[in-house]
Structures are given as C-alpha cells and as structure tokens.
C-alpha cells in the first residue's frame, strides 16, 4: 500500500491544476481501495461550505452543485470534528443528509477523513460501498494517510479558483493566498508574468536563403539586445546602486564577446540560418561552464542561455513588439529579478510578489528601497494563466488576493486611500523632534543596504544610520567585491550622512543570506557558520572589509562598526583584534585611520545574559529582534509553516528585551533596536517604556514611529510595558497595544 500511496501523491503533485489533481485522487483512491465510490469535498472559503468537487461512483452531474455547511450532513460533521468516521450504514447516522442528485441512496458503507491543514479543514475525502460494512483498520489508515498528504498539497493550489460560484463571475475569484510580508504597503494592480522567452532547443536547422543577410540580421539582433539591456540599466539609474547595475554590465559583456559572435557567424557561413547557428553556439559555450565543479561557474551557463534566448527573441519575426505594461504593474514570479524590475517604465511598478523568498531576500530589500509593497514566499503553485489578472498586494500582512471580489477591492481601495491620507498627515512631522510628551528625547535611525536608500533618506530627518547591512553589496554581485570596490561604496554612504554617525555592520552572510558565489552546505544553517563566526574564520574576507570601512572613514570620522551574531565574549575580542590589525597595517601604509566606536548585535540568546561582560569591550549594543525572536522562540523566521508562532510581541521576547536594555543602561552603554520591531507602532510603546535610546528602521516607518513617540509619555509607556510583561500571549499583548494606540488618537496606525 505504501508504494500505491507514494504513486498517488506523486501524480497529484504533478497535476497541471486543482481540477486534474482532484480527478486523480478520486480515480486512484477508488481503484486502490476497490470501493464503489470515492469523492472529494472542498471548502469554499467564500460561503463557507463544503462543495462536491470530484467523484467516481456518484452522479457526475452533481459535481459543483452539492454543498454542505459545516456541521451539515456527515461530510460537514467530519469537517467540523476533524476526525474520521467509519460507518457500516451511513443512513443510520444522525447527521445523514440525502442528496437525490448524487444517486447515493444505494451506498451503505461510508468512510470519510477530514483534509486538515494548519488546524483548518480544507475538505473531506470520502469512500463508499454498496454493502453494509465497516472498513478495515488498514483501509482507514490508508485513507487517513492520503488525506494528510493531500491536505498540504491542496493548500498550495488556489482552492477557491476551482469552486463554481453560484453567480459565476468572468473567471471566478481565486481569493486570498497567504505568504510572508516582504515590503510594507498595499496596492491594487494587474499581474505581469515574465515574458515567454523563445526556446533555443525548439529551433530547427534550416539552410539560409541569403547567408550575408542572415549574418547581418544576427549582428543587428546582438546590437539591439545590448541596447535593450543598456536602456534597462539606464532606466534604473538613480533607483539603483552602482553595484546592482553591474549585473547588466555582465550580460552586455557576455554579448560583446567576439568569440561568441564569431562562432555564430561561422555556423551561418557553414550553412545554417541564424537561429540554428545561435542554438548550437549557445549550447557549446554553456556546456563548458556546466561541466565545471564550481557552482559559481555552473551558474554562468544559465546566464549564457538567458542571453541566447533574448537574442533569439529579437531574431524571430515579432520580436520588435515592445511589452506593454499595465499602469499599475505587479510583477509576479518564482523570484523577481532586477532585470525584470528595470524593464517596467518608471512609475508603473506598483508591487512585487514572489513565490519564493522572505523579508530578507534581495528582492524584498529592493522593494523596500523602491518604496513599493512586496509579498514573498507564496509557495509552489501554477501561475501561468494569471497574466493581466487583477491582484491586491498587502505587504503588511503578507497576503495577496487574485481576481478579488468587488467587496474586497472596495475594502482595499479604502485602505490605499487611507494610506495616502496618512502619509500626507505624517509629512507634517518631518522636522519635528522625536520627543515624548514628558520631554524625553529619543533617537531615530535608518536601516539601509542599497545605495538607493540614501536618496530616500535625504528627505527624512533622522539622527543616524542605525544599521547599514554591508552584505547587500556582496549579494548583488557575482564575485566578492575587492577592498577598493567596497571602499568606494562605504565612502559614499559615510559621506552622504556625515557628520551623522553611520553604523556599518560587518558581513552577515550565511543562514538565510547565502552568497551565490560562496555556497556553504549545512544541515542547520541558522545555527551554523554565519555572521561573525564566518568572518573570524575567513580573515581574507574580513580584513579587506574592515580596511575598506576604516579607510572610508578618514576625514569623516562618523563610522561605527557593528559585529553580527555575537554569542561569546571571545568573539568580540577576536573581532577587536582584527580591527586593530587592520588599523595598524593601514597606518604602516600611510593611512591614519581614527578609531571607530565598536558595537555588538544582541541577537543570539546567550548575549541576553552577558551584557556586563560584553560591555567591557564594546561601546554600544544594537538589538536584532528579527533573529533574537527566532532564536528565543525556536521559530524559523522564514518558514510559512511556523509563521503564526513567530511574533516579537511574545511576552518572553518582551521580558528578554526589557532585561537587555536595563543591563546595558546600568553598564552605561547606549542601546538601539534595529530589527523590525522598532518599526512596529505598537511595539514602539513597549520599547519606549523600556527606555530604549534609539529606534532604527527602514525609511517608510520613520514618521509613523515618530508619531507614536510624540504621542506618549515615558510614564504611560512604562505602565503599558508592565502590563504586557504580565500577559500570557502575543495576541493579548497585540490587542492591548492596538487599544492603546487607538486611545492615544493613533488608531490609523493600527489600520495600516
Ligand atoms: C535582526 O536580526 O534583527 C537584524 C536587524 O538583522 P538581520 O535582519 O539582517 O538579520
Ligand atoms: Mg540578524
């Protein structure tokens, strides 16, 4: 039976759509269990009701028509109780309800299992038999096991899309899909899928009518593709940093390779038309890289094929047609590349949705830099038919609505309008102090990563850069940036904010921030080789970075260096030695570098109990609530499976933060929070109550947090904090904070 089970699950996973998956289930399960009937009922979230969606054995015309509310009929009863039922004669069950259109009166034996996903009933799987009999234990176990596997699979399909509406719309709403927040904001727009790229492998050989003409059109296609790439890069100018632009340069460079062009030309002269000659040349060049041991080099093979497809598109007849973008474009894809973002005309890109990734993905950071909402990690699903479909992107809650119902659109229109009004209102706070009503001054800092963030920051009055994530220049490249390249970037950042302090965090890769050109394989990367652990082991990476930072600081003297993932005092000591060594060596080379302030991130739980010891070595602390929450609660910050458990308002997290801030203050060390918690208006009340010195966050949150600070007294915030610390769950804390915001006249922040 196990083999049968695996086969069924595999077939369902390979199904093209939900309808096909359900047909496979009923067909295969009925055959495997040798029953007279197998049916699947799926929950219609709009109703909510359980709808017969596929059957073998019942009257097929009843599909889509038989509906049962929760608790209604045996199916509704199973869905509510979330337990299987095994009946010798269904008609004798008190919940039995007869639907004449199904023709099920002749069936007696009835076995049903609920399809439960994350505590929610997604549907019910039923088998029936003409004879009166109770199903055997192993049959029940089989159906339960199938049900458990299928519940997860079904949850990935957009369930609502397949359910016939009683008043069908043009295509039927797909409804809500829950993902992970990537960048804040809400938008209503239309989906743009990646352009279908010409497939090189589908090109057939053909003798050219005129070889010279063929060669000319190939060279023309190469030129046009280069121009197209350059235009894309230029369009992004001012929106993107130099380092991200370099990706386009790599593509342009590959296309400019004499060898690649000449190989195609030689094949044309040898008797093939341009597309055929291109196909063979690209295959040959890509193969060289494909066979490399190094994963970085293997990845270059995909670059070459991607460029080959672009040139082929140009060569084929209708290629000059320029893609038309809707006025409110929402890019949707597995991952949304920088090149796709750059292709959208300025002002028309309104949202980004990725099936993979999380808030720390490169794309999410890009979206935050551009100030547009993003939702990440929707999970594997078939989206090929969705080009142009209306979509709502809710970057706050990490959810999207595809083909939303009019009532949902109306609700979100209200939210978008509200956002606009709120921004206008908040703009008046720009030049006001971040001071509580009882005159306590609070520091506001910015979190930045890409150079583009600097432009946004220019319009904000903040006191400092609380966190410069130095891994981003590393993540947007194809190889490790050299000291000189890093120097140029760091200098720009320090100069842009001088004389305000800039806290540069040393490289924090590993865990969820891998570098394509520096792959590390670990069973448990979050507990593995990341942050300071990695850089201390790799002086060849660490020292050039420290040198670049120290040199960039000459004459400006606004650099602070922050070490990520500190877990032990020894790590701080070793990192300090590295800074000393870099300064000494630079001194010997004639660079007189001022000594920067040094800080440690508080994000590994061991540091919660080591603040006095660490204080002997560092000048300040910065609390990374994103990682601290994940480590304290043992909840992966990027896993959709446990997303509901990840919450920085968990009373345990609040108590931990209270202790750290208290200890740091006692040791006379300034402390800031640079995790997402500092950008959450409700949490800001608690942090105020703890006496936090500096809140550091992305640009979009600054004015909201300033509004909170200006609306509370430190005394009131303290009372709220003490109440929160006595609570038992994150949910009760959140409700209390929402009430507090409302009472202080800041209810609009709760809505947003
Ligand atoms: C954090 O962990 O809270 C933090 C600020 O760092 P990152 O999100 O980059 O890990
Ligand atoms: Mg962190």
pLDDT at residue 298, rounded to an integer = 65
- 279 versus 437: the higher-pLDDT residue is 437
CA of 468 to the centre of ligand 2 (A): 12
Contacting residues for 119 by C-beta, under 8 A, at least 6 apart: none
Q: Which helix (H) or strand (E) holds 106?
A: none
pLDDT at residue 238, rounded to an integer = 58
Ligand 1 within 6 A of CB of 624: yes
- 14 versus 658: the higher-pLDDT residue is 658
CA angle 430, 435, 439 (to 5 degrees): 150
User: SS3 sequence, 450-512?
Assistant: CCHHHHHHHCCCCCEEEEEECHHHHHCCCCCCCHHHHHHHHHHHHHHHCCCCEEEECCCCECC
User: How far is the C-alpha of 639 from the C-alpha of 396, rounded, in Å?
Assistant: 17
Out of 508, 512, 565, mutate this one to test ligand 1's pocket (max ligand atoms within 8 Å of CB): namely: 508
- 224 versus 722: the higher-pLDDT residue is 722
Counting atoms of ligand 1 from 1, which one is nearest the CA of 469?
9
pLDDT at residue 175, rounded to an integer = 67
Residues 573 and 597 sit within 8 Å (Cβ to Cβ): no
Q: Mean pLDDT across the stretch 714-726?
A: 98
Q: Which helix (H) or strand (E) holds 601?
A: strand 597-602
Around ion ligand 2, residues with a beta carbon closer than 5 Å are 603, 624, 627
pLDDT at residue 471, rounded to an integer = 87
pLDDT of residue 662 exceeding 80, the answer is: yes
Both tokens of 340, joined, read 């796709």
387-431 residue pLDDT tens: 899 999 999 888 999 988 888 899 899 888 888 888 899 999 999
Nearest residue (by CA) to ligand 1, atom 8, is 626
CA of 625 to the centre of ligand 1 (A): 7
- 165 versus 185: the higher-pLDDT residue is 185
Counting atoms of ligand 1 from 1, which one is nearest the CA of 512?
10
Ligand 1 within 6 A of CB of 469: yes
Residue 244's pLDDT band (cuts 50, 70, 90): low
Q: Which of 3-7, 81-85, 460-464 has the lowest mean pLDDT?
A: 3-7
Counting atoms of ligand 1 from 1, which one is nearest the CA of 359?
8
Verify whether residue 674 is a known catalytic residue.
yes
- 240 versus 183: the higher-pLDDT residue is 183
For a pLDDT cut of 70, what percent of the chain falls above it? 88
Q: Which of 17-26, 62-71, 105-114, 555-564 has the lowest mean pLDDT?
A: 17-26
CA of 529 to the centre of ligand 1 (A): 16
pLDDT of residue 322 exceeding 60, the answer is: no
pLDDT at residue 153, rounded to an integer = 64
Residue 160's pLDDT band (cuts 50, 70, 90): very low
User: How far is the C-alpha of 381 from the C-alpha of 158, rounded, in Å?
Assistant: 8
pLDDT of residue 38 exceeding 70, the answer is: yes
pLDDT of residue 499 exceeding 90, the answer is: yes
Report the half-sphere exposure of 735 (CA within 13 A, side-chain side).
Answer: 5
Both tokens of 310, joined, read 């672009």
Out of 180, 626, 629, mutate this one to test ligand 1's pocket (max ligand atoms within 8 Å of CB): namely: 626
Both tokens of 92, joined, read 């004798």
pLDDT at residue 456, rounded to an integer = 63
pLDDT at residue 708, rounded to an integer = 98
pLDDT of residue 319 exceeding 50, the answer is: no
Residue 155's pLDDT band (cuts 50, 70, 90): low
Out of 601, 624, 678, 687, mutate this one to test ligand 1's pocket (max ligand atoms within 8 Å of CB): namely: 624
pLDDT at residue 559, rounded to an integer = 98
Counting atoms of ligand 1 from 1, which one is nearest the CA of 622?
5
Describe the crossing of helices 274-290 and 211-235 by its angle, rounded to 10 degrees. Answer: 60
Both tokens of 732, joined, read 């009760």
Please provide the average confidence, as pLDDT, over all residues in the chain: 86
User: How far is the C-alpha of 478 from the C-alpha of 475, rounded, in Å?
Assistant: 8
pLDDT of residue 320 exceeding 50, the answer is: no
pLDDT of residue 109 exceeding 50, the answer is: yes
pLDDT of residue 297 exceeding 70, the answer is: no
Q: Is the dihedral of CA 458, 459, 460, 463 positive or negative?
A: positive
Both tokens of 435, joined, read 């001071």
Counting atoms of ligand 1 from 1, which one is nearest the CA of 674?
5
pLDDT at residue 296, rounded to an integer = 58
Residue 584's pLDDT band (cuts 50, 70, 90): very high
Residue found by looking up tokens 């292709």 in the block: 343
pLDDT of residue 346 exceeding 80, the answer is: no
Backbone angles phi, psi at 85, to 5 degrees: -130, 140
170-197 residue pLDDT tens: 334 456 788 888 888 899 999 998 765 5
Q: How far is CA 391 from CA 173, 195, 388, in A?
A: 10, 18, 9
Verify whether residue 93 is a known catalytic residue.
no
Q: Mean pLDDT across the stretch 133-140?
A: 91
pLDDT at residue 71, rounded to an integer = 86
Q: Which of 102-106, 123-127, 444-448, 695-699 has the lowest mean pLDDT?
A: 102-106
Q: Mean pLDDT across the stretch 242-255?
A: 67
CA of 654 to the centre of ligand 1 (A): 17
Residues 35 and 48 sit within 8 Å (Cβ to Cβ): no
pLDDT of residue 569 exceeding 90, the answer is: yes
Residue 489's pLDDT band (cuts 50, 70, 90): very high
Report helix, strand or coil for 49: strand
pLDDT at residue 161, rounded to an integer = 44
User: How far is the C-alpha of 426 from the C-alpha of 90, rounded, in Å?
Assistant: 63
pLDDT at residue 235, rounded to an integer = 63
CA of 501 to the centre of ligand 2 (A): 20
CA of 467 to the centre of ligand 2 (A): 11
Both tokens of 645, joined, read 């458990």
pLDDT of residue 691 exceeding 50, the answer is: yes
Q: Is the dihedral of CA 362, 366, 371, 377 positive or negative?
A: negative
Nearest residue (by CA) to ligand 1, atom 6, is 624
Ligand 1 within 6 A of CB of 625: yes
Ligand 1 within 6 A of CB of 694: no
pLDDT of residue 232 exceeding 80, the answer is: no
pLDDT at residue 533, rounded to an integer = 97
pLDDT of residue 340 exceeding 60, the answer is: yes
Q: Mean pLDDT across the stretch 291-302?
A: 67
Both tokens of 431, joined, read 């030049």
Nearest residue (by CA) to ligand 1, atom 1, is 624
pLDDT of residue 237 exceeding 70, the answer is: no
For a pLDDT cut of 90, what percent of the chain falls above it? 53
pLDDT at residue 149, rounded to an integer = 74
């Amino acid at each position: 039976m196990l083999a049968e089970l695996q086969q069924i699950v595999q077939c369902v996973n390979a199904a093209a759509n939900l309808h096909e998956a359900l047909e496979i289930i009923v067909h295969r399960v009925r055959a495997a269990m040798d029953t007279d009937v197998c049916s699947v009922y799926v929950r219609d979230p709009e109703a909510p009701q359980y709808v017969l969606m596929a059957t073998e054995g019942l009257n097929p015309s009843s599909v889509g028509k038989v509906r049962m509310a929760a608790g209604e009929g045996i199916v509704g009863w199973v869905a509510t109780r979330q337990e299987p039922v095994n009946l010798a004669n269904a008609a004798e069950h008190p919940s039995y309800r007869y639907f004449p259109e199904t023709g099920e009166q002749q069936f007696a034996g009835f076995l049903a299992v609920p399809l439960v996903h994350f505590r929610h009933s997604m549907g019910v799987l039923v088998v029936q038999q003409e004879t009166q009999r109770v199903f055997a234990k192993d049959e029940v176990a089989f159906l339960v096991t199938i049900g458990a596997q299928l519940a997860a699979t079904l949850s990935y399909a957009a369930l609502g899309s397949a359910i016939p509406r009683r008043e069908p719309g043009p295509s039927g709403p797909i409804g809500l899909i829950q993902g992970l927040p990537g960048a804040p904001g809400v938008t209503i727009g239309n989906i743009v899928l990646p352009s279908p790229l010409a497939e090189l492998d589908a090109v057939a050989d053909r003798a050219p009518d005129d070889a010279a003409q063929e060669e000319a059109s190939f060279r023309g296609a190469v030129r046009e593709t280069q121009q197209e790439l350059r235009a894309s890069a230029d369009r992004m100018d001012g929106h993107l940093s130099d380092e991200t632009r370099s990706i386009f340069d790599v593509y342009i460079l590959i296309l400019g390779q004499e060898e690649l062009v000449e190989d195609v030309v030689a094949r044309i002269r040898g008797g093939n038309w341009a597309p055929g000659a291109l196909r063979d040349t690209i295959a040959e060049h890509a193969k060289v890289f494909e066979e490399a041991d190094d994963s970085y080099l293997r990845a270059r093979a995909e670059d070459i094929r991607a460029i080959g497809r672009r040139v082929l598109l140009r060569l084929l007849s209708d290629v000059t047609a320029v893609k038309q973008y809707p006025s409110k474009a929402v890019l949707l894809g597995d991952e949304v590349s920088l090149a796709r973002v750059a292709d959208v005309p300025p002002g028309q890109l309104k949202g980004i949705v990725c099936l993979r990734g999380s808030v720390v993905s490169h794309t999410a950071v890009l979206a935050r830099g551009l100030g547009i909402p993003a939702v990440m990690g929707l999970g594997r699903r078939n989206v090929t038919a969705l080009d142009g479909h209306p979509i709502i992107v809710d970057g706050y809650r990490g959810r999207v609505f595809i083909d939303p119902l009019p009532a949902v659109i109306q609700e979100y229109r209200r939210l978008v309008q509200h956002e606009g009004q709120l921004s206008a209102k908040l703009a008046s706070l720009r030049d006001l102090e971040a001071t509580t009503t009882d005159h306590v001054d609070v520091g506001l800092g910015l979190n930045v990563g890409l150079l583009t963030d600097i432009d946004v920051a220019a319009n904000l009055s903040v006191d400092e850069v609380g966190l410069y994530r130095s891994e981003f220049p590393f993540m947007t490249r194809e190889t490790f940036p050299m000291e000189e390249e890093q120097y140029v970037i760091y200098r720009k950042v320090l100069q842009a904010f001088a004389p305000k302090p800039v806290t540069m965090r040393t490289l924090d890769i590993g865990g969820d921030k891998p570098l394509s050109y520096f792959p590390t394989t670990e069973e448990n990367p979050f507990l593995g080789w990341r942050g300071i652990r990695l850089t201390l082991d790799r002086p060849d990476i660490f020292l050039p970075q420290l040198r670049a930072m120290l040199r960039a600081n000459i004459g400006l003297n606004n650099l602070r260096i922050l070490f990520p993932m500190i877990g032990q005092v020894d790590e701080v000591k070793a990192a300090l030695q590295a800074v000393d060594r870099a300064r000494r060596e630079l001194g010997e080379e004639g660079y007189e570098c001022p000594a920067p302030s040094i800080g440690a991130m508080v994000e590994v739980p061991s540091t919660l109990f080591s603040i006095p010891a660490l204080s002997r070595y560092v000048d300040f602390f910065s609390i990374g609530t994103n990682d601290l929450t994940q480590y304290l609660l043992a909840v992966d910050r990027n896993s959709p499976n446990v997303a509901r458990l990840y919450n920085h308002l968990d009373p345990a997290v609040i108590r931990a933060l209270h202790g750290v801030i208290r200890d740091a203050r006692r040791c006379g060390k300034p402390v800031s929070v640079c995790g997402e918690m500092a950008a959450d208006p409700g949490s800001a009340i608690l942090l105020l109550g703890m006496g936090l010195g500096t809140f550091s966050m992305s640009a979009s949150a600054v004015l909201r947090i300033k509004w909170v600070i200006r609306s509370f007294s430190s005394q009131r915030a303290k009372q709220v904090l003490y109440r929160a610390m006595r609570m038992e769950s994150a949910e009760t804390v959140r409700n209390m904070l929402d009430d507090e915001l409302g009472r202080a006249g800041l209810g609009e922040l709760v809505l947003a």
